[in-house]
A and B are shown apart, each in its own frame.
Chain A
Amino acid sequence: MLLKPNVSVHNLNVFYGKDHVLHDVSVEIPNKKITVIIGPSGCGKTTLLKSFNRLIDSVDGVKVTGEVLVDGENIYDPKAEVTHIRKKMGLLSQRPYPLPMSIYDNVAYGPRLCGEKNKKKLDRIVEHFLHTASLWDEVKDKLNSPAARLSVGQQQRLCLARGLAVGPEIILGDEPTSALDPKSSKHIEERFMELKQYYTIILVTHILRQAKRLADYVLFLYMGRLIEHGPAKEIFENPKEKMTKEYIQGIIS
């Protein structure tokens, strides 16, 4: 029997006021793979990504039709509990936004929201996920200093640890390396390659080389429409659509 996909999208339309930002997107995101959403800026990549955990709810005048199924549950069902949905996903944004508290408290934030109070357990969680994000050795002596004192690259790894500590199945990344120097970017990319055996990872990027390095599966968006999607090899080497070909060859951007 085929594994049910973690995320599947059916006829998703998103409007910001009168702007029709996403047109009728339908796609199944493969499990435990890295799916990369590519496309020129303003094509709706970030909107699609943020519709997976309903972060677009906070946009003024947003309207959504169609459905996004996460583990078989339509997250836009009025009865769906949004905090529960969001705990299934970790988010990395374009710039890291550490919470205004210590390194330790940043990682412990999610578990504490879930009601975890046991200090020993929290210690273990914090250490474990800082290891996973390969940040532990750099911060183990200053867990109580403000997270804002870390370098941007370290902050992004902290945000990764923080997201993983909630125990998600899915990791969302919105151009997570765009604010980082090449070395830190590489660091983050390596983490993704390790993590994909345990998590379904969905990334937005406008860097084609990065997409080629990381992607197992690719979604190409243009002007709010899903033009083409498929295994990375197919999309990059033998795209069916003319527009995809032109984008990959750098003719349109």
Chain B
Amino acid sequence: MMRGLAVASTLIVVLIALALFMRSKPILALKPLTTLLFSTAWHPSRGEFGFLAFIAGTLWVTLVASFIAIPVCILASIYLSEYADKRLREWIGPFIDILAGIPSVVYGMWGVLVIVPLVKNIIAPLFGGYSAGYSVLAGGLVLAVMISPVIIHISVEVLRTVPSDLKQASLALGATKWETIKFVVMKRAMPGMIAASVLGLSRAFGETIAVMMVVGNVARIPRTVFDPAYPLPALIANNYGEMLSIPLYDSGLLFAALLLLLVVIYFNVVSKMILSGSKWSLYYNG
């Protein structure tokens, strides 16, 4: 029974992928894959389906989010696992987990109320640019906060697996605590922290509603972080079920969904592989 459920859950992933593939077949049959992926012409009513602007939007927002989140999260997790005393750690841990559990629409609201005006009135003028506020940067900032809990959580776990005897070996050689962290702890934990970041990225990649509320949803390739963008998930959420009278529109959106699913699966597999760690265990254990 339990086993059946476990198998069923993996089956669901396969079935979803299969269904998406079947439904996106019409558009794949009519348009070459390169046009779909690398054309910016998006005129569904004229039968032009170029996804490049949306793919670029997704990549921009994801990259900005990871540039902000990854360094901050890695430093935070080092602090939590190596410097913070036990009481602080026990205090902060649950808060980080709550952060992970906040519904994304709430993040979206917060983005609209706080981040969008912040980008428009403060950050963009600071860099001499103009922004309506609804922009790649706003999306990236909101996403950065959203993916932080998972990155911090996993990184702290990974850091805590570094044996204290190994740290002592470095300390005994006259290394300071920071030197020990930099040369030994980080090195040992690096694959795990990369995996944590990749998992965070995959979450960022597929995040829909919060991003949709703050990025502006303009189907053009953004040139700076102050420009609006239109990521793939937002495209699907905004349009699916609305304009399906247009031929191939439905198939095109399902193709976009398939694309997203494949990328997210790929990220997850990669991070699992790093975590279970051919490289990691090889370097240290054998």
The reply to whether A159 and B169 form a contact with Cβ atoms under 8 Å apart is yes
List B residues 271-286 near A (Cβ within 8 Å): 282-286
Confirm or deny: A90 has a beta carbon within 8 angstroms of a beta carbon on chain B: yes
The reply to whether B187 and A86 form a contact with Cβ atoms under 8 Å apart is no
Chain B interface residue count, CB cutoff 8 Å, equals 25
Confirm or deny: A89 has a beta carbon within 8 angstroms of a beta carbon on chain B: yes
Confirm or deny: B183 has a beta carbon within 8 angstroms of a beta carbon on chain A: yes
Chain B contact residues: helix, strand, loop or mixed: helix
Distance of A87 Cα from B170 Cα, bound (Å): 11
Against B, the Cβ 8 Å flags (1 = close, 0 = not) of A119-162 are 00000000000000000000000000010110000000001001
Distance of A146 Cα from B179 Cα, bound (Å): 20
Confirm or deny: B167 has a beta carbon within 8 angstroms of a beta carbon on chain A: yes
CB proximity of B80 to chain A, nearest CB, Å: 15
Distance of A163 Cα from B166 Cα, bound (Å): 14
Confirm or deny: A91 has a beta carbon within 8 angstroms of a beta carbon on chain B: yes
The reply to whether A100 and B169 form a contact with Cβ atoms under 8 Å apart is no
List A residues 16-63 near B (Cβ within 8 Å): 53, 55, 58, 60
Which residues does chain A contribute within 8 Å of B285, judged by CB atoms? 148
Confirm or deny: B34 has a beta carbon within 8 angstroms of a beta carbon on chain A: no
Against A, the Cβ 8 Å flags (1 = close, 0 = not) of B166-204 are 111111111110010001100110000000000000000
Distance of A118 Cα from B117 Cα, bound (Å): 54
Confirm or deny: A238 has a beta carbon within 8 angstroms of a beta carbon on chain B: no
Which residues does chain B contribute within 8 Å of A187, judged by CB atoms? none
Distance of A114 Cα from B175 Cα, bound (Å): 9
Confirm or deny: A93 has a beta carbon within 8 angstroms of a beta carbon on chain B: yes
Distance of A90 Cα from B188 Cα, bound (Å): 22
The reply to whether B165 and A93 form a contact with Cβ atoms under 8 Å apart is yes
Confirm or deny: B164 has a beta carbon within 8 angstroms of a beta carbon on chain A: yes
The reply to whether A99 and B166 form a contact with Cβ atoms under 8 Å apart is yes
Which residues does chain B contribute within 8 Å of A95, judged by CB atoms? 165
Chain A residue with minimal CB distance to B185?
Answer: A100
Confirm or deny: B163 has a beta carbon within 8 angstroms of a beta carbon on chain A: yes
The reply to whether A86 and B165 form a contact with Cβ atoms under 8 Å apart is no
Distance of A89 Cα from B183 Cα, bound (Å): 20
The reply to whether A110 and B174 form a contact with Cβ atoms under 8 Å apart is yes
Q: Indicate which residue in A58, A60, A162, A163 contacts B171 across the interface (CB closer than 8 Å).
A: A58
**Given A97-B169, A100-B184, CB of A148 within 8 Å of CB of B174:** no
Chain A residue with minimal CB distance to B162?
Answer: A100
The reply to whether B171 and A97 form a contact with Cβ atoms under 8 Å apart is no
The reply to whether A58 and B167 form a contact with Cβ atoms under 8 Å apart is yes
Which residues does chain A contribute within 8 Å of B175, judged by CB atoms? 83, 109, 113
Distance of A93 Cα from B169 Cα, bound (Å): 8
Q: Indicate which residue in A86, A99, A159 contacts B174 across the interface (CB closer than 8 Å).
A: A86
Which residues does chain A contribute within 8 Å of B86, judged by CB atoms? 60
Chain B residue with minimal CB distance to A88?
Answer: B174
Confirm or deny: A7 has a beta carbon within 8 angstroms of a beta carbon on chain B: no
CB proximity of B189 to chain A, nearest CB, Å: 9
The reply to whether A148 and B169 form a contact with Cβ atoms under 8 Å apart is no
Confirm or deny: A240 has a beta carbon within 8 angstroms of a beta carbon on chain B: no
CB proximity of B88 to chain A, nearest CB, Å: 13
Distance of A101 Cα from B86 Cα, bound (Å): 30
Q: Indicate which residue in B165, B171, B176, B283 contacts A100 across the interface (CB closer than 8 Å).
A: B283
Which residues does chain A contribute within 8 Å of B183, judged by CB atoms? 99, 101, 109
**Given A146-B283, A149-B286, CB of A97 within 8 Å of CB of B176:** no
Which residues does chain A contribute within 8 Å of B179, judged by CB atoms? 113
The reply to whether B174 and A84 form a contact with Cβ atoms under 8 Å apart is yes
Distance of A148 Cα from B176 Cα, bound (Å): 23
Which residues does chain B contribute within 8 Å of A83, judged by CB atoms? 174-176
Which residues does chain A contribute within 8 Å of B286, judged by CB atoms? 148-149
CB proximity of A71 to chain B, nearest CB, Å: 15
Confirm or deny: A9 has a beta carbon within 8 angstroms of a beta carbon on chain B: no
28 A-B interface contacts by CB (under 8 A): A53-B172, A58-B167, A83-B174, A83-B176, A86-B173, A86-B174, A87-B173, A91-B169, A91-B173, A93-B169, A97-B165, A97-B166, A97-B168, A97-B169, A99-B183, A99-B184, A100-B184, A100-B284, A109-B170, A109-B175, A109-B183, A110-B174, A113-B173, A146-B283, A148-B284, A148-B285, A162-B173, A163-B172
Which 6 pairs across A and B sit closest by C-beta, in order of nearness? A87-B174, A91-B172, A97-B169, A110-B173, A86-B174, A97-B166
